[in-house]
Amino acid sequence: MGDWAGYLVLILEGAWVTVRLTVMGCALALVVAFVAGLGRIAPWAPVRWLATAYIEFFRGTSIFVQLFWIYFVLPMTGVSLGAMEAGVLALGLNVGAYGAEVVRGAILAVPNDQREATVALNMTGWQRLRHVILPQALPLMLPTFGNNAIELLKATAVVSLISLADMTFQGQIVRSQTGNTIVPFLTILVLYFLMSLAIAGAIGWLERRVTRGLDGVR
């Protein structure tokens, strides 16, 4: 007993794993969300089908199952991933599927007037998207992206099921070693909450940045 400092280090090590999972998972989710979200509204039907299939599949099955497939089943096909990679991949693909719908919705929410102006100014499809549509869609996406990121943070705990020593996993270890439930679980509760506050703060800051000058537009 009394070695709480050592136990706290264990939990902080787990917290670091959770932070890395969250950051990398969000990065992957963001990329995937844009690729699949743009794919959903692409002018080519096969691309739309592919994007739709991905989104429906990953929203329609649980992240537990997805993680088990990536970590336990994928190696049977010769693709073997470490626990961290598998965790990031499962989180990114799962949350990316939700993000894709956000991207699509935000792009479609930009008034058609704007698209017509870009046609009248003879911009190409990519120029329209890059310079006119996306800059206006981004502020619409950010609040939901913030929620998605927090969902992803909360979902990181599933990786303890593949024995990755994230914060929840370490909390369990400390609990079983000390016999004390309240202290480790209260610690991780506070840490999770601080992390989600940090995410909300970062998104709020981003929102203020990207909406600068757009005030009073809608």
Partner 1 sequence: MDNPIIRIHDLKKSFGPLTVIDGLSFDVQRGEKLALIGPSGSGKTTILRMLMTLETISGGRIEVCGEPLYQMRRNGAEVPADEAHLHKMRRHIGMVFQHFNLFPHKSVLDNITLAPILTQGAKRAEAEKQARELLEMVGLADKAGSMPSQLSGGQKQRVAIARALALKPEIMLFDEVTSALDPELVEEVLEVMKRLADETDMTMLLVTHEMGFAREFADRVLFFDKGRICEQGTPEQIFTNPAQDRTRTFLRKIIAAGHRV
Please report, as ranges, the residues that interact with partner 1 according to CB under 8 A: 113-114, 116-117, 119-125, 127, 131-132, 135-136, 213-218
* Cα gap 136→218, rounded to integer Å: 11
φ/ψ of residue 210, rounded to 5: -75, -20
Tell me how far, at minimum, the Cβ of 22 lies from partner 1, in Å.
30
Tell me how far, at minimum, the Cβ of 140 lies from partner 1, in Å.
12
Q: Which is nearer to partner 1, 79 or 120 (CB)?
A: 120
Is the CB of residue 51 less than 8 Å from the CB of residue 39? yes
Q: Which is nearer to partner 1, 9 or 214 (CB)?
A: 214
* Cα gap 53→49, rounded to integer Å: 6
List all residues 6 or more positions away from 82 whose beta carbon is below 8 Å from its beta carbon: none
> Furthest-apart CA pair in the chain: how many Å?
75
Tell me how far, at minimum, the Cβ of 113 lies from partner 1, in Å.
5
Q: Which is nearer to partner 1, 94 or 118 (CB)?
A: 118
Nearest CA-CA partner of 67 in 83, 80, 43: 83
Tell me how far, at minimum, the Cβ of 129 lies from partner 1, in Å.
12
* Cα gap 33→12, rounded to integer Å: 30
Q: Which is nearer to partner 1, 205 or 215 (CB)?
A: 215
Tell me how far, at minimum, the Cβ of 180 lies from partner 1, in Å.
54
Is the CB of residue 138 less than 8 Å from the CB of residue 106? yes
- Token pair in block for residue 111: 């008034």
Q: Which is nearer to partner 1, 79 or 215 (CB)?
A: 215
